[in-house]
Chain A
Amino acid sequence: MLSLVNSFKSEWLKKKRSPASWLVLIGGLLVPVIVLFSRLTDFSTLGASNASDKLWEFIYTRCWQFMGIFLLPMGVILAASLITQIEFRNNTWKQLHTTPQSLTTIFIAKFAVIVIMMLQFFILFNIGIFLCGALPTVFIGVHYPKEPFPWFSFMKGNGRFFIDCLPIIALQYLVSLQWKNFLVPLGFGLGLDIASMIALSWKHGYLLPYNYCALEFLGNRARVNPNASVQEWALGYFVIMISVAYILYISKKEKG
Chain B
Amino acid sequence: MNAYCLETNNLSHSFGKSKSEPVLKNIDLQIPEASIYGFLGPNGAGKTTTLKLVLGLLTLQQGSIAIFGKPFDKNRVDILRRTGSLIETPSVYTQLTAKENLEVFRKIYGCSKQRIPEVLKLVGLDDTQSKKAGQFSLGMKQRLGISIALLNRPSLLILDEPTNGLDPNGMIEMRELLKKLNREEGTTILISSHLLTEIERLVTHTAIIQRGEIRFQGKLDELISRQAQSSRLVLETGNPEATLELLKASGIQAIIEKGKITMPIISRYHTASVARMVMNAGIDLFELGSSRDDLESIFMNLINE
Contact = CB atoms under 8 A, between A and B. Distances in A.
Contact of A90 (B52, B55, B83, B93): B93
Nearest to B94: A90
Interface residues of B, number: 33
Interface stretch (A2-10, A47-55, A137-145, A220-228): A2-10
Contacts of A102: 76-77
Interface string B98-125: 0010011101111000000000000000
Contacts, number: 87
5 contacts: A7-B108, A10-B104, A90-B91, A101-B77, A254-B52
A254 B56 CA distance: 9
B80 interface: yes
Contacts of A13: 96, 100, 103-104, 107
Contact of A98 (B55, B59, B96): B55
Interface of A: 3, 6-7, 9-10, 13-14, 16-18, 86, 89-102, 253-256
Contact of A256 (B57, B77, B104, B105): B57
B110 A94 contact: no
Lowest 7 CB-CB distances: which A-B pairs, in order? A95-B91, A100-B81, A92-B91, A10-B107, A100-B80, A17-B95, A253-B59
B85 A254 contact: no
B148 interface: yes
B228 interface: no
B230 interface: no
Given A10-B104, A16-B100, A100-B109, A95 B78 contact: no
A3 B90 CA distance: 25
Contacts of B59: 253-254
B89 interface: yes
Contacts of B148: 95
B57 A100 contact: no
Nearest to A96: B91
